[in-house]
Amino acid sequence: MSVKFEYILSDERQTSLNKICLEFRRTRKEKALRIIISVVLFLMAIMFFVMSRIQLLSLWVGLFFIFLIFLIYFGHRIEFWFSRRRFQKSIFRNEKITNILSEEGFTELTGKSEVKYKWEIFDKAIETSDYFMLNSQNVKIIIPKAHLIEGTIEEAEAIIKRHIQLNSQRCSKLF
């Protein structure tokens, strides 16, 4: 039993994929840690600004801490911008992509490449009303439900549940 999804990787599709990844990052439970680190960095920056009356190097260290606070809150936006620019130069731009979910694993086919992943590399799956997201340490695969061409959503969900722990998350509609 296998389920097949097919779509064209266009600029709009890549933008929506980036938005999904940003939404996923925003929903993670790191806000408390982010706030604590920001407060510590802010207090250290104030301390170094006060010490800058004595040494000029302390001013630069304080500015560096302020820059780190900026990166904590806006780093994902900068990464989104770089990702869009990289995709515009990519050889996979406007390429037809076929995703196949089977008992052996996940296969992604294009006119230029074929990639096969075994189920063992994925440690988490997220299902929303619009897509499945398969996660591993280095790979995040987003499979839109609207682009199903063979099989059913229930079959895809059953295959994923057999091999990966499936977590449902509520996200806004992004496709």
pLDDT in tens, the chain (175 residues): 788 877 777 767 667 766 766 666 665 667 777 888 889 999 988 888 888 777 878 888 888 999 999 988 888 778 778 877 887 777 777 788 888 888 888 898 888 889 898 888 888 888 888 888 888 887 888 888 888 887 888 888 888 888 886 655 544 444 3
According to DSSP, the β-strands at 124-127 and 166-168 are parallel
Residue 36 domain boundaries:
19-88
pLDDT reported for residue 172:
44
pTM: 0.59
pLDDT digit string (tens) for 125-165? 888 888 888 888 878 888 888 888 878 888 888 888 888 86
The predicted pLDDT at position 71 comes to: 86
Tokens of 102: 């089977």
CATH of the domain at 128: 2.30.29
pLDDT at 164: 82
The confidence score (pLDDT) of residue 169 equals 54
Has residue 118 been placed in a domain? Answer: yes
The string over 142-163, giving b where at least 16 C-beta atoms fall within 10 Å of a residue's C-beta and e elsewhere, is: bbbbebbeebeeeebbbbbeeb
Q: Concatenate the DSSP letters of all residues of 68-89 into one string.
A: HHHHHHHHHHHHHHHHHHHHHT
Q: Is the same domain home to 84 and 96? A: no
Question: Are residues 112 and 77 both part of a single domain?
Answer: no
Q: Are residues 116 and 60 in the same domain?
A: no
Q: How many domains does the chain have?
A: 2
Please tell me the predicted confidence (pLDDT) of residue 60. Answer: 87
Q: Are 157 and 127 in contact (CB under 8 A)?
A: yes
- Phi and psi for 52 in degrees, rounded to 5? -70, -15
